[in-house]
């Protein structure tokens, strides 16, 4: 489904328009608000704009969705979460034990 959606976005201009409108109106604002709030309270780094951090989080989430959609498990989930956390905060990564999720 996820791969099919990518194909439709590339080949169907009307579908692409609807997808972009939906993303901009209903998906992006809550994530941007969350990132901004986390920056305000000092939990997220402030050397990058909220749009950049939200874009990174979205990219990782999309990659996870594609990988799970193809039936490939996420290897070492704790390390992935810690890597994302260290990327959006000023905190250095910590050691994580290896855990796989289907």
Reported as type and span, the H/E element at residue 32 is helix 28-40
**Cα(63)–Cα(83) distance, integer angstroms:** 14
Is residue 84 domain-resident? yes
Q: Over the Cα atoms of the chain, what is R_g?
A: 16
Q: Which pLDDT value is given to residue 96?
A: 46
Is residue 27 domain-resident? yes
In tens, the pLDDT along 47-85 reads 999 999 998 998 898 888 878 878 888 888 999 999 999
Does the reported pTM lie above 0.85? Answer: no
Domain that holds residue 11: 2-88
Residue 100 has pLDDT above 60, yes or no: no
In tens, the pLDDT along 22-37 reads 877 777 888 999 999 9
Domains: count for the chain: 1
């Amino acid at each position: 489904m996820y791969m099919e959606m990518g194909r439709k976005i590339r080949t169907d201009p009307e579908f692409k328009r609807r997808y972009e409108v939906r993303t901009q109106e209903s998906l992006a604002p809550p994530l941007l608000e969350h990132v901004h709030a986390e920056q305000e309270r000092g939990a997220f780094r402030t050397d990058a704009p909220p749009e950049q951090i939200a874009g990174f989080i979205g990219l990782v989430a999309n990659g996870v969705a594609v990988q799970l959609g193809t039936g490939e498990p996420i290897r070492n989930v704790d390390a992935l979460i810690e890597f994302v956390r260290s990327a959006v905060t000023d905190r250095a990564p910590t050691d994580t034990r290896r855990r796989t999720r289907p």
